[in-house]
């Protein structure tokens, strides 16, 4: 099987580093030794195990990508950069016809999807790449569409905790709020309780200390108006390894799409990937 060339963007960020480390051990892939990074990153090179990456600043990427497209035709970009770079990166990928997996959350998601739909290359975009959570979201979407207003009159409380470096509110939590609202809740995304304080996370949430720098804990609580009925949904993730498998499945999914007749569809989600796998 011919290896798939992938470019992991977002180094030296922790999630991008996790992806790069896993890709080095995966026989399906061959890493491109370049990674898009932010203007605030001081170093120009970054090493993952024995593999060295050149870090590409925004002002350098046009010139670098011209060379990469020639040297690695058909490569796929995996984006785990920063929420502030989401839309600019997506526009850059689509403008240069580079298929990509957008694992970065935040940004203007409607504009992000629109840029792909109007472009000429496929992309997988999802607020969460963990396959089990994506499956849970699919179940919630089914419930919302099948049983609208099931929880009408119930109050909703949403709490999410992530590492202190996470700049935005959880995209997964925002998506879940949409499902719960269809089920009858009346909840604004701005009401999501966003926890980023390590002391609170360790003492009150009892998140293991070794995972304070990388975790995603979510709790969704529904309570009846008279306080006699309570439903609670949780998904707690320690570390970042769970995101690797889904991301790589999305890469393989895109590669297969590139070898098939053009269906005209450009935008895909992790639900599409799960149905395929």
3-state SS string for the chain: CCCEEEEEECCCCHHHHHHHHHHHCCCCEEECCEEECCCCCCCCEEEECCEEEEEECHHHHHHHHHHHHHHCCCCEEEECCCHHHHHHHHHHHHHCCCCEEECCCCCCHHHHHHHHHCCCCCEEECCCCCHHHHHHHHHHHHHHHHCCCCCCCCEEEEEEEECCCCCCCCHHHHHHHHHHHHCCCCCCHHHCEEECCHHHHHHCCCCCHHHCCCEEEEEEEEECCCCCCEEEEEEEEECCCHHHHHHHHHHHHHHHHHHCCCCCCCEECHHHHHHHC
Active-site annotation holder among 17, 131, 162, 235: 162
Active-site annotation holder among 17, 166, 215, 255: 166
Residue 162 annotated among the catalytic residues of the structure: yes
> Cα–chain-centroid distance for residue 244?
10
Residue 218 annotated among the catalytic residues of the structure: no
Q: How many CA atoms lie within 13 A of 11 on its CB side?
A: 28
* Residue burial 198-209, b: 16+ Cβ < 10 Å; e: rest: eeebeeebebee
Catalytic residues: 162, 166
């Amino acid at each position: 099987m011919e290896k798939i060339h992938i470019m992991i963007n977002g180094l030296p960020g922790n999630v991008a580093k996790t992806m790069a480390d896993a890709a080095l051990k995966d026989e399906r892939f061959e890493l491109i030794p370049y990674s898009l990074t932010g203007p605030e990153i001081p170093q120009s090179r970054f090493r993952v195990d024995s593999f060295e990456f050149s870090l590409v600043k925004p002002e350098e990427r046009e010139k670098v990508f011209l060379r990469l497209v020639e040297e690695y035709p058909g490569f796929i970009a995996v984006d785990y950069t920063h929420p502030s770079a989401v839309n600019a990166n997506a526009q850059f990928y689509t403008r240069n016809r580079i298929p990509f997996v957008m694992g970065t959350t935040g940004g203007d998601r409607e504009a992000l999807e629109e840029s792909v739909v109007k472009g000429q290359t496929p992309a997988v975009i999802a607020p969460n790449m963990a396959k089990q959570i994506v499956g849970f979201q699919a179940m919630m979407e089914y419930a919302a569409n099948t049983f609208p207003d099931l929880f009408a009159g119930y109050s909703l409380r949403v709490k999410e905790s992530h590492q202190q470096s996470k700049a935005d509110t959880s995209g997964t939590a925002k998506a879940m709020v949409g499902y719960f609202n269809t089920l009858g809740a009346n909840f604004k995304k701005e009401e999501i309780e966003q926890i980023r304080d390590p002391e609170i996370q360790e003492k009150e949430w009892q998140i293991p200390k070794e995972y304070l720098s990388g975790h995603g804990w979510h709790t969704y609580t529904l309570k009846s108006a008279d306080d006699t009925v309570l439903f609670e949904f949780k998904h707690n993730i320690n570390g970042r390894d769970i995101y690797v498998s889904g991301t790589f499945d999305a890469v393989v999914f895109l590669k297969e799409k590139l070898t098939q007749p053009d269906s005209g569809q450009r935008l895909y989600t992790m639900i599409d990937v799960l149905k395929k796998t």
